[in-house]
Amino acid sequence: MSGEDWPESALGTHSTGSRILILGAGYAGLRCAQVVSKYLADPGAPEVVLVDRNGYHQIITQLPETVSGRLATDEVAVPLAELLKRTPVRFRQAEVREIDLDGKRVATSEGILTYTTLVVALGSVTAYYGVQGLKDHALTLKSVEDAEEITRRVQQAVADAAETPDPARRARLLSFLIGGAGLTGVELAGELAEVLPTMARAQDIPPTEPRVTLIEAAPAVLPSMPERLQGRAAAILAELGVRLVLGSKVTAADQEGIDLASGDRLVGNTLVWTGGIMAPPLLGQSGLPTALNGHVPVNEYLQAEGFPDVYVVGDSASLPVLEGESAMPPTAQIAVKQAEAAAYNIVAGWEGWPRRPYKPADKGQLVSLGSERGVASVFHIPLVGKKVIALKALIAESYRYAATGRINLGRGRRG
């Protein structure tokens, strides 16, 4: 769709004629909108508009627990109207379709939105790396809808297995494959390993018959975590009954299983791919510079290279890696900190203050392995066991409190 054909948005024009437009209401986009609107709240300040295709903010780190039923969907999908009701942020539910950098306009499913300053916080999409059949046959876990579909497919597979007289088909139905042993894949494996025996018993299937297999191209699970914790996580997963297939890439997928670079074949009618992410193709198509996997290179102030009026934060951004340092993992805490840094620099630009360089800092990572145990590295201190589950729950409640101004203690939880 050419710029001349874009319909005007019904949002209208702000009295000052200035607009900070934020694309995406994930961890980075929501936080940026809240912080910017707090410090640019006087009548002469620019308008702050937040755009997302959904009317809710998703707490993505808790999606695996939604698959197993430990958390209800209303625990991880919080209405944006509730989150923004005490702010002057104007929310527009629409899908972003095109960005016109020269005209400073964004085409959405609801019309054009112009901007003075643009914040790109569109997160990431699943990367399939050209693996034959993978996109067509694999489920993903990037949204509440994805979590609900995985749950439905798993429940249906167990129910169908109870009815089939064919042993080979029964084995395929009760084999659940997860590609990618990063944070999401490991947590999903733990959740499924815990809930599948209960599902099996409900269908008069022996609880040990369903099998979860976790496949990873790297030689260990959780490649971004310290080696000692990788080993502990692998041991806990094995105790839960998860089969680990490490050091071999997926080369093809079909409706009955996957092929590996090792020459082996794993059968299973349900495949979930958590093995990689990339930036939305829309960013490169708009003319923004892109790096590996489509991420947009940004400077120390989180501005897109060559576009000082465009900030890119969260999974969409590619930050320079200093010598002797490693790249920051795509986690919620990193996205939030980037959003706060970008928000400050946006306000500084409007107020005439000096901008501040963003300084990456990773406080660590926590991974739940089912409902009872987990592994974590917090400020380089290793933690293993139930304390990790308690800490993860505390962090989740703290985030929810910061985002909504309330604490949700158990609402919507399932047994």
What is d(CA 81, CA 320) in angstroms, rounded to the nearest whole number? 35
Query: How many of the other CB atoms lie within 10 Å of CB of 335?
Result: 26
- Indicate if 187 belongs to the active site: yes
What is d(CA 403, CA 83) in angstroms, rounded to the nearest whole number? 6
Q: 18, 11, 31: which is closest to 314 by C-alpha?
A: 31
Q: 150, 262, 295, 277: which is closest to 224 by C-alpha?
A: 277
Residue 406 has phi, psi (to 5 degrees) of -145, 160
CB 3 within 8 A of CB 105: yes
- Catalytic residue, chosen from 75, 187, 216, 340, is 187
What is d(CA 128, CA 177) in angstroms, rounded to the nearest whole number? 16
Active-site residue numbers?
187
